[in-house]
Copies of this chain bind each other. A is one copy, B any other.
Amino acid sequence: MALKLYDLAAAAPERRFSPYCWRTKMALTHKGLGFETVPWRFTEKDVIAFSGQPRVPVLVDGERVVSDSWTIATYLEDIYADRPSLFHGDGGRAATRFVNAWADGVLVGGIVRLIATDILANIDERDRAYFRKTREQRLGMSLEKLTADRDTQVLAFRKTLEPIRTVLATQPYLGGAEPAYADYAVFGCFQWSRCISRFALLLEDDPVWAWRDRLLSAFGGFASMAPAYAA
């Protein structure tokens, strides 16, 4: 039986934009595991109540239910140990946690300030009040105020990507010679933006752009085939 993934969807159900779900989809694809996705909206808490928590990704693997993108990654690595590795050893798993934590804070936190109004415009109508309320509470201002000066804010955002550029100057992927979960943890954040917003997060001459392009092309162009707005 194929694995089943509850995957955050926009108003258009084929538009999938959660950075965390993208991490999981890349990890599943890396492992060569077939999976089907179930489009899920922010307010459909009842639909995933069986997972014991209110957020996606939720992965259903037969009798097993796993939530939280990091937990899912370690689950896949351990249960499907004979498949291509996501971490390449315990040292990789431990250090990738830092990359993941950095992406959660610096990328998710940085990007939401640039695209929050685009998210609002594209999500299902039933989700809008929920999204506005929770995000404005968390971020301390209206979504419109948050993104008002994004053309300036993005310059500072791009500077925070410097550690990625430093690594890419000496190896093609954060995971080394080949992509690994460290790449997907970061890539998921860029794919989030790309799938829900037209805003130009990256410049074409940025090495991060070229790296993202390589990941879009990976696995037969899996991520590039998803409906997206930005280049």
Task: Name the one of B91, B162, B166 contacting A176, with C-beta atoms under 8 angstroms.
Answer: B91
A167 within 8 A of B: yes
Q: Contact at B94–A176, with CB atoms within 8 Å?
A: yes
Q: Contact at B94–A93, with CB atoms within 8 Å?
A: no
User: Scoring A residues 95 to 112 as 1 if CB is less than 8 Å from chain B, else 0, what string do you get?
Assistant: 111110110111000000
Q: Contact at B105–A95, with CB atoms within 8 Å?
A: no
Q: Contact at B174–A95, with CB atoms within 8 Å?
A: yes
Q: Contact at A90–B176, with CB atoms within 8 Å?
A: yes
A152 within 8 A of B: no
- Which 4 residue pairs spanning A and B have beta carbons closest together? A91-B92, A88-B91, A89-B89, A94-B176
A163 to B104, CA, bound (A): 8
Question: Quick one: given A102-B163, A105-B162, A105-B163, are A94 and B92 in contact (CB under 8 Å)?
Answer: yes
Taking A88-B94, A92-B95, A101-B166 as given, write out 4 further A-B residue pairs in contact, using a Cβ cutoff of 8 Å, ordered by the A residue number.
Answer: A94-B177, A95-B95, A95-B99, A102-B163
Task: State which residues 118-177 of A face B: CB under 8 Å.
Answer: 162-164, 166-167, 170-171, 173-177
Q: Contact at A176–B98, with CB atoms within 8 Å?
A: no
A96 to B170, CA, bound (A): 13
